Chain A
Amino acid sequence: MTMLYLRDRWFEDLPVGEFHVFGSHTFSELEIVEFAQTFDPRPQSIDPDEARSNHRQGLIASPWLVTATWMRKMVDYMEVYAQGVNDGRRNGAGVAITDLQWLEPVRPGHTLTYTYEIIDKPDHVIREKWGLIRSRNEAFNQYGNKVMQFEIDILAERCPA
């Protein structure tokens, strides 16, 4: 399987069905609390003692921390294979996501593994230059349970005619 990734290839060269296990991450209590202090600042999210009696019986990662970590792992993975083309021009920005679900709580010490599969190339040209790559993305915890899923449309540059 080729190890080249999105930024090294044109839209035309990205095949439906391509699948990557692209990263994993273990969530610490500190990063869960720090994220919540900015984005989810309630005692049950930022105070481990308070959280013991909450609806989730303990601290859990904010949903967007789980998803933002997907982005970080994806960027890291792309950097490895991008071979210097990440200059901000030929670069796939996200356009829209659908069916984002957080299926199980992510707690301090949990390790998630993130996967990506190209599922469609919608017939849609944007500003004459970009095509859309639709992928299904999932995260699994250390027990093998799926904890997050979503689909995202990302811009990919079309090969100049």
Chain B
Amino acid sequence: MPLSSELITLDKTAIVTFASQFDPQPYHLDKEAAEQSIFGGLCASGWHIAALATRLVNETLIENGLPFIELVSVGQLKWIRPTFVDEQISVRITLTDIPHGSPIAETYVQAFDVEVCNGDGAVVATMSATAAIAQDSAGSVTS
């Protein structure tokens, strides 16, 4: 069974604040320009989605007894559809690999696949990644 996170809403302020700092392109900042763009409306930066999805992964793994420390790598990330103002996202996480050693002390590396879904359950992005997980917890896996 995949591990599921809560839903969080991306309002216009959050989208524009992130984009102003990191991805100041018209389709992430300005409604009229966005409507003329390839996306057809004001939508979140793909990097915003990636960072928020990682926060949800972080929280969801911790809730499930896997003390997330740090994202280590992303083998693949695909942006499938835009996330528009006031849409929600959540993540579904499937652990994919036998945990193995980490470059970070007292952690091991866990691989997983993530589906980022909107409020309707449609997949907006997919990500295959690895993260360092602390070994010093009850139920942790060591190798």
Contacts and interface: CB of A to CB of B under 8 A. Distances in A.
Interface string B45-62: 111001110110010000
23 contacts: A38-B51, A39-B51, A39-B54, A40-B55, A40-B58, A42-B58, A55-B70, A56-B104, A63-B71, A64-B54, A67-B50, A68-B45, A68-B47, A88-B38, A91-B26, A91-B27, A93-B39, A95-B78, A95-B79, A96-B79, A99-B73, A100-B77, A101-B72
Given A67-B47, A72-B24, A86-B26, A55 B78 contact: no
Interface residues of A, number: 34
Interface of A: 38-42, 55-56, 62-64, 67-69, 71-72, 75, 86-89, 91, 93-102, 130, 150, 155
Interface of B is mostly: mixed
Contacts, number: 105
Interface of A is mostly: mixed
Interface string B114-129: 0000000000000000
B33 A100 contact: no
B105 interface: yes
Contact of A75 (B24, B46, B76): B24
A86 B107 contact: no
A41 to B, nearest CB: 8
Interface of B: 21-27, 30, 33-34, 36-39, 45-47, 50-52, 54-55, 58, 69-79, 104-107, 132, 134
Contact of B37 (A62, A89, A102): A89
Contact of B134 (A38, A55, A98, A100): A55
B27 to A, nearest CB: 5
A132 B33 CA distance: 23
A63 B38 CA distance: 28
Given A68-B22, A72-B21, A88-B34, A55 B73 contact: no
Contacts of A99: 73, 75
Given A39-B54, A88-B30, A102-B71, 5 more contacts: A39-B51, A86-B26, A88-B25, A91-B37, A98-B75
B105 A91 contact: no
Nearest to A36: B55
**Most chain B CB inside 10 Å of its own CB: which residue of A41, A67, A71, A101:** A71
